[in-house]
Amino acid sequence: MSAPRRVALATGAAALAHMLPSVAVLGQWTPLRTTAGGGFVWRGTSQARIALTFDDGPDPANTPAVLDRLDALGVRATFFCLGERVAANPGLAGEMHARGHEIGTHGHRHHSHFRHTALWIADDLRRATDAMADAGLPVPQWFRPPFGHVSADTVVCARSRRLPIVLWSAMGREWVEPTAAAVAARVRRSLSPGAVVLLHDAEINTGSSSRVVAALEPITAAIAARGWDAVPLGELLSGR
């Protein structure tokens, strides 16, 4: 084998090893709930509970409307917040927690981990945790990497902070669905006992956040119609 070919194969193998754990996101299309030891989570136990989770906030232009709708529906949720947005909006982040919602970390910056080294990821998680502490929030118990991109370095850095990586088993894809009804219908199709639902409380494209707000009532109605409860992630996973 020629030297250039050996180098190309070695480079490809290194890239595959770096990104291989990202196959963990395939759990959203399988019955997987958690991995052994709970390092990855896609669903809770099979009891009749669902967790609504929101990514990318706090966003002062859109998060308050999500919070108000959740209050009106009597639902508590889990928000995976970006550290840089917590640092920019500490009062809003504190309000999310004060209104009974759980706060997990989405990292500090919304960058794919495929683009970065272990040192960058470790620093990003540290900065995110520091931003939450500065805002008076509890130490996060859960971590969802941006885009759900999980590299080998993501796994190592999350474990070093004892942070389970929480992905999802249902999502609204509100950035591509044209209406709130379509967002709700997509979520309903993927609901099962223990589901972790992914939505966003920050605007991804024009109108996406308003579609989420309008979809919350039919989503929670579908959950209730099946005799299930919408609860924060900690309650879903605790088995209590």
Domains in the chain: boundaries: 3-238
Condensed to tens digits (0 to 9), the pLDDT of residues 189-237 reads 999 999 999 999 999 999 999 999 999 999 999 999 999 999 999 999 8
| Domain 3-238, second-level architecture | Alpha-Beta Barrel (3.20)
pLDDT at 128: 98
Using the structure block, give the residue that is written with the tokens 């500065």.
134
Known catalytic membership, residue 200: yes
Please tell me which residue in 55, 56, 59, 124 is annotated as part of the active site: 55
pLDDT at 38: 56
Please tell me which residue in 108, 113, 116, 200 is annotated as part of the active site: 200
CA distance 190 to 223: 11
Known catalytic membership, residue 55: yes
DSSP secondary-structure letter at 48?
Answer: S
Condensed to tens digits (0 to 9), the pLDDT of residues 126-139 reads 999 999 999 999 99
Enumerate residues 6+ apart whose C-beta is below 8 A from 238. none
Using the structure block, give the residue that is written with the tokens 């395939």.
26
Tell me what the mean pLDDT of segment 61-67 comes to.
Answer: 98
CA distance 223 to 240: 19
Mean predicted lDDT score pLDDT of the chain: 88
pLDDT at 173 over 90: yes
CA distance 160 to 157: 5
